[in-house]
């Protein structure tokens, strides 16, 4: 039966309306997976030989020491990006197919996701290296089975708590508290991690405990899903009581204020937009990567960092206009909607949050004024130039967004567009090149002023640029409507 399900999924892929785009996205996704596979395999070699030859310590102990961090990152990645594949299963519920078979197929399918087996690639490579360097086969096999079983538990934990945001926040706070306790050497969390994971090597039969725990959670998860596996119960879209909210002072700005009011409500109410706000907050700390790699301290990469630190919300939100309104976009197009005011509302909202990001980034002063004023210049460029180019790229984004479910859009077919990719040149490459050349020629002052001037020029000519953007949105109007109406 599992092979029949697999054949049906292959047929649905090749019988779709966008086979060419689907294939292109599959190729791009496959290339991305190959890249990360190479990174993980190379990381296993680096972890083993660097620890052994440079630190002169036992690589297995050191890796076991930090596996708790990998386990937490793995759990977070699954919670953010991995979701139960229920949409393809719903049609089979009306057929004479055992519910037990369907549930087990869904559980097995979660293990086929790259987020599930990426960690195994590192563990397999590291284990093979250890075997070729004198470690015992039985001990390494026990270590591999025990560690893998604990990592794969995250699949089931994610299924149990995927839609329970309050529990996720509480768990994140607990993890953060333990990180602080370990940092201040109150509780040696990493030492406990080494003890637990290394015990699978010292006493391989401990791996049986981890494997039994894996099977037990599979059984609990199976029963949990089976109880809810009905079209009118667990698989039904969750309904909530509607609440009327209004930000009164925005009403005096007419249509512009109304659109901003609606966008603020959308950001506060829906899972996808809440995730974007959270992601935008984390983008502020993206510049900390400069502290761990000298590559990011070059002028071009400093500007690259600054664009992301101050423009996280802009990149996550702006390029998905009007996809956020996909559920009622056809209705909106039948009304006398002032397109320019609709887009300017998005623009003002992006710039308000960009300015807040510039304020939040003030802690980079601790690492040097040069870094912070570079980020400020990048923020001005984001407000004056990138905000408009990001809205422009949104005209070519025809991916529907369900605001009531967590967004799993990596590799979606309509999220790729050559025109949107070309707009990356003025958004990213131009400011990086201008800042690098100006800094080398005139120093940090010249670099910052050149980027700030570009931002101010873009801001002054915004009305002319908006006229061009509106024309492109109107040109793409009917293809966008067709994409939003096509639920396949």
Q: What is the pLDDT of residues 5-51, one digit of tens each?
A: 666 666 665 555 444 445 555 666 677 677 778 888 888 998 899 88
**Do 222 and 371 fall into the same domain?**
no
**Do 261 and 220 fall into the same domain?**
no
**Do 290 and 358 fall into the same domain?**
yes
Who contacts 80 (Cβ-Cβ below 8 Å, separation ≥6)? 275, 406
**Do 276 and 153 fall into the same domain?**
no
List the structure tokens of 355: 């300015």
What is the Cα–Cα distance from 150 to 141, expressed in whole angstroms?
Answer: 14
Please check whether residue 321 lies inside any domain of the structure: yes
Please check whether residue 330 lies inside any domain of the structure: yes
**Do 419 and 278 fall into the same domain?**
yes
For 260-304, write each residue's pLDDT tens digit.
Answer: 887 888 887 777 777 788 878 888 887 776 665 565 678 888 888
List the structure tokens of 480: 């966008």
pLDDT band, residue 252 (cuts 50/70/90): low
**Do 207 and 72 fall into the same domain?**
yes
Please check whether residue 221 lies inside any domain of the structure: yes
Give the pLDDT of residue 99: 78
**Do 252 and 216 fall into the same domain?**
no
Query: Which helix (H) or strand (E) segment is 368 a member of?
Result: none
- Contact predicate 140/58, CB 8 Å: no
Tell me if residue 162 falls in helix, strand or coil.
coil
**Do 220 and 252 fall into the same domain?**
no
**Do 220 and 259 fall into the same domain?**
no
As to burial, measured by CB atoms within 10 angstroms (0-12 exposed, 13-18 middle, 19+ buried), residue 402 is: middle
Nearest Cα residue to 104 out of 115, 92, 94, 114: 92
The structural domain count of the chain equals 2
Please check whether residue 240 lies inside any domain of the structure: no
C-alpha distance from residue 460 to each of 81, 103, 350 (Å): 40, 58, 17
- Contact predicate 431/454, CB 8 Å: yes
Please check whether residue 235 lies inside any domain of the structure: no
Q: Using alpha carbons only, how large is the chain's radius of gyration in Å?
A: 25
Which of the residue ranges 104-108, 131-135, 348-352, 419-423 would you say has the lowest mean pLDDT?
419-423
Flag whether pLDDT at 360 surpasses 70. yes
**Do 266 and 224 fall into the same domain?**
no
**Do 160 and 18 fall into the same domain?**
yes
pLDDT band, residue 415 (cuts 50/70/90): very low
As to burial, measured by CB atoms within 10 angstroms (0-12 exposed, 13-18 middle, 19+ buried), residue 44 is: buried
Which of the residue ranges 247-256, 393-402, 427-436 would you say has the lowest mean pLDDT?
247-256
What is the Cα–Cα distance from 300 to 432, expressed in whole angstroms?
Answer: 5
Please check whether residue 65 lies inside any domain of the structure: yes
What is the Cα–Cα distance from 481 to 363, expressed in whole angstroms?
Answer: 44
Please check whether residue 454 lies inside any domain of the structure: yes
Who contacts 131 (Cβ-Cβ below 8 Å, separation ≥6)? 137, 140
- Contact predicate 196/67, CB 8 Å: no
**Do 186 and 261 fall into the same domain?**
no
Who contacts 482 (Cβ-Cβ below 8 Å, separation ≥6)? none
Please check whether residue 359 lies inside any domain of the structure: yes
- Residue 441, phi then psi, degrees to nearest 5: -85, -40
For residue 111, give its domain range.
2-228
What is the Cα–Cα distance from 118 to 470, expressed in whole angstroms?
Answer: 43
Flag whether pLDDT at 241 surpasses 50. no
Who contacts 66 (Cβ-Cβ below 8 Å, separation ≥6)? 190, 193
**How many C-beta atoms lie closer than 10 Å to residue 309's C-beta?**
26
C-alpha torsion 385→390→393→399, nearest 10: 180
Among 228, 259, 292, which residue terminates a domain? 228
């Amino acid at each position: 039966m599992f092979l029949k399900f697999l054949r049906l999924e292959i047929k649905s892929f090749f019988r779709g309306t966008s086979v060419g785009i689907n294939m292109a996205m599959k190729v791009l996704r496959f290339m991305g997976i190959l890249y990360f596979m190479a990174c993980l395999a190379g990381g296993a070699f680096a972890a083993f030989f660097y620890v052994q030859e440079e630190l002169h310590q036992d690589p297995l102990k050191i890796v076991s020491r930090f596996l708790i961090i990998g386990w937490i990152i793995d759990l977070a990645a699954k919670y953010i990006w991995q979701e139960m594949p229920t949409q393809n299963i719903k049609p089979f519920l009306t057929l004479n197919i055992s519910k037990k078979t369907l549930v087990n197929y869904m559980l097995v399918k979660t293990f086929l996701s790259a987020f599930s087996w990426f960690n195994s690639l590192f563990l397999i490579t590291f284990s093979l290296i250890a075997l070729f360097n004198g470690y015992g086969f039985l001990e390494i096999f026990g270590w591999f089975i025990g560690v893998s079983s604990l990592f794969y538990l995250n699949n089931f934990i994610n299924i149990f708590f995927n839609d329970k945001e309050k529990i996720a926040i509480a768990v994140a706070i607990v993890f953060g508290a333990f990180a602080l306790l370990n940092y201040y050497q109150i509780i040696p969390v990493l030492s406990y991690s080494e003890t637990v994971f290394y015990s699978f090597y010292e006493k391989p039969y401990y791996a049986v405990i981890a494997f039994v725990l894996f099977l037990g959670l599979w059984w609990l998860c199976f029963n949990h899903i089976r109880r809810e596996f009905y079209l009118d119960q667990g698989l039904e879209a969750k309904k909530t009581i509607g609440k009327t909210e209004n930000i009164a002072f925005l009403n005096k700005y007419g249509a512009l204020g109304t659109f901003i009011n609606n966008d603020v409500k959308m950001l506060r109410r829906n899972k996808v937009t809440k995730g974007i706000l959270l992601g935008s907050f984390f983008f502020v700390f993206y510049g900390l990567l400069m502290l761990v790699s000298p590559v990011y301290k070059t002028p071009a990469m400093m500007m690259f960092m600054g664009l992301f630190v101050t423009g996280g919300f802009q990149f996550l939100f702006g390029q998905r206009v009007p996809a956020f309104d996909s559920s009622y976009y056809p209705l909106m197009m039948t009304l006398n909607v002032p397109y320019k005011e609709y887009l300017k509302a998005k623009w003002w909202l992006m710039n308000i949050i960009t300015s807040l990001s510039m304020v939040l980034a003030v802690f980079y002063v601790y690492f040097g004024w040069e870094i912070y004023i570079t980020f400020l210049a990048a923020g001005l460029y984001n407000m004056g130039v990138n905000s408009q180019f990001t809205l422009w790229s949104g005209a070519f984004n025809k991916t529907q967004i369900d605001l009531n479910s967590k967004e799993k859009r990596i590799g979606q077919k309509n999220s790729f567009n050559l025109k949107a990719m070309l707009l990356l040149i003025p958004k990213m490459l131009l400011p990086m090149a201008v800042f690098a050349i100006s800094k080398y020629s005139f120093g940090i002052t010249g670099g910052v002023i050149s980027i700030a001037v570009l931002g101010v020029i873009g801001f002054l000519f915004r009305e002319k640029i908006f006229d061009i953007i509106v024309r492109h949105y109107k040109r793409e109007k009917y293809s966008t409507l067709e994409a939003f109406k096509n639920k396949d």
